[in-house]
């Protein structure tokens, strides 16, 4: 250990009245959590070579993981100030002071916890969150893997299909060894291998008007990973009625599109298409490149995370469309419609079971 470095254990034994604790992270990071009594002096805003630091106190400096603060300590030492770098930085402090996230979890997620948009509180919110993924296929695969890796506490997966050899070029949740077996079982095994701290709830069935309401009610965010338009409208209508946020996406060939619905914010699918479109191309008939499903599914995953941690701008009132052959992307602005049949001022669709005939092809294969 560097002679000008102090461990968390040694730091805790110091008399805090004789210590000046300096946090050199940016102000956003500081606002998301800091060590008690720490003074915010962002590295990019403070000239430590000229700062009038109290020479009568022991100065302890920390950053996110204890690397950038080393340079500041050297500057302060050059001014004859008794300064130490906190080994491991704020991340080490979190690991030693947490009753929600275990030490192993804090180490696992350390590289995202140090992001100012996440922090300790954001990671705790991810652990508390419950996300349902409808379809363990091309879109659901990247969503499932990245949500699990990010530390979503509970992931639900609904899919009544078996793994087919034709799935494997895009459905990266599944291995060749699982051909012919249930997708939800394959998905659960992969999630448990990626992150044992995630609780996995499986539904070995298709999403239907009869079961969708009872399933989605327990989740904070829904991922639409279906491959047919009827199922997508079923998810849309149910989420609007049950006031559940969800991410819609569609991929065919080398093209993809994605948007996010949040109750009372933005449009739903029926604002764009009053009724379920007919003759819509599907990946089973038109074909699909797996990498495109990976890109669009990862965007859905990012939307779910942003919603849970309240960061950035969601794709509400906007649809992102990407042409994978040219890598030309565009964002189309869309507004909710007062005359919408499900989210409008006078909705006519109020119950899934009463309108089940319109979702006649509700098979989620993705």
> Which pLDDT tens digit goes with each residue over 167-184?
889 989 998 998 999 999
CATH for 129-359 is 3.40.50.720
Specify the pLDDT at position 365: 41
For the chain, residues classed under CATH 3.40.50.720 are 129-359
DSSP state of 211: T
Burial tier of 87 (Cβ tally within 10 Å: 0-12, 13-18, 19+):
buried
Specify the pLDDT at position 274: 81
What values do phi and psi take at 303, rounded to 5? -60, -40
Pick the closest to residue 29 from 71, 74, 62, 53 (CA basis): 62
Specify the pLDDT at position 361: 60
For the chain, residues classed under CATH 3.40.250.10 are 5-111
Specify the pLDDT at position 363: 42
Please tell me the distance from the alpha carbon of residue 248 to that of residue 321, in angstroms, as a whole number.
12
Angle between helices 183-194 and 140-150 (to 10 degrees): 30
DSSP state of 279: S
Instruction: For the chain, list residues with pLDDT below 50.
Output: 362-366
Specify the pLDDT at position 362: 42
Specify the pLDDT at position 364: 41
The DSSP bridge partners found for residue 203 are: 158
Q: Is residue 231 within 8 Å of 207, Cβ to Cβ?
A: yes
- In the CATH scheme, what architecture does the domain 5-111 have? 3-Layer(aba) Sandwich (3.40)
């Amino acid at each position: 250990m560097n002679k000008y470095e102090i461990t968390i254990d040694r730091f805790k034994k110091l008399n805090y009245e004789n210590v000046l604790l300096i946090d050199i992270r940016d102000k956003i990071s500081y606002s998301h959590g800091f060590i008690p009594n720490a003074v915010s002096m962002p590295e990019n805003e403070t000239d430590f070579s000229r700062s009038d630091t109290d020479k009568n106190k022991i100065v302890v400096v920390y950053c996110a993981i204890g690397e950038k603060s080393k340079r500041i300590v050297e500057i302060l030492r050059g001014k004859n100030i008794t300064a130490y770098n906190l080994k491991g930085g704020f991340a080490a402090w979190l690991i030693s002071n947490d009753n929600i996230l275990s030490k192993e979890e804090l180490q696992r997620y350390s590289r995202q916890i140090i992001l100012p948009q996440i922090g300790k509180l954001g990671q705790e919110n991810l652990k508390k969150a419950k996300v349902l993924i409808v379809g363990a296929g091309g879109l659901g695969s990247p969503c499932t893997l990245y949500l699990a890796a990010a530390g979503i506490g509970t992931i639900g997966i609904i899919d009544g299909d078996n793994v087919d050899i034709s799935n494997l070029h895009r459905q990266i949740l599944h291995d060749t060894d699982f051909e012919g077996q249930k997708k939800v079982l394959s998905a659960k095994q992969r999630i448990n291998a990626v992150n044992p701290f995630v609780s996995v709830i499986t539904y070995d069935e298709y999403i239907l008007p009869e079961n969708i309401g009872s399933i989605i009610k327990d989740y904070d965010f829904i991922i639409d990973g279906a491959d047919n338009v009827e199922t997508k409208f079923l998810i849309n209508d149910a989420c609007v009625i049950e006031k559940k946020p969800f991410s819609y996406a569609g991929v065919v060939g080398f093209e993809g599109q994605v948007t996010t619905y949040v109750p009372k914010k933005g449009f739903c699918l029926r604002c764009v298409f009053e009724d379920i479109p007919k003759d819509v191309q599907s990946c089973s008939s038109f074909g699909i490149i797996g990498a495109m499903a990976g890109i669009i599914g990862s965007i859905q995953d990012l939307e779910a995370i942003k919603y849970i941690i309240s960061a950035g701008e969601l794709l509400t009132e906007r649809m992102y469309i990407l042409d994978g052959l040219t890598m030309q992307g565009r964002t189309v602005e869309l507004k909710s419609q007062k005359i919408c049949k499900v989210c409008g001022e006078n909705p006519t669709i109020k119950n899934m079971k009463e309108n089940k005939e319109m979702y006649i092809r509700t098979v989620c294969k993705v």
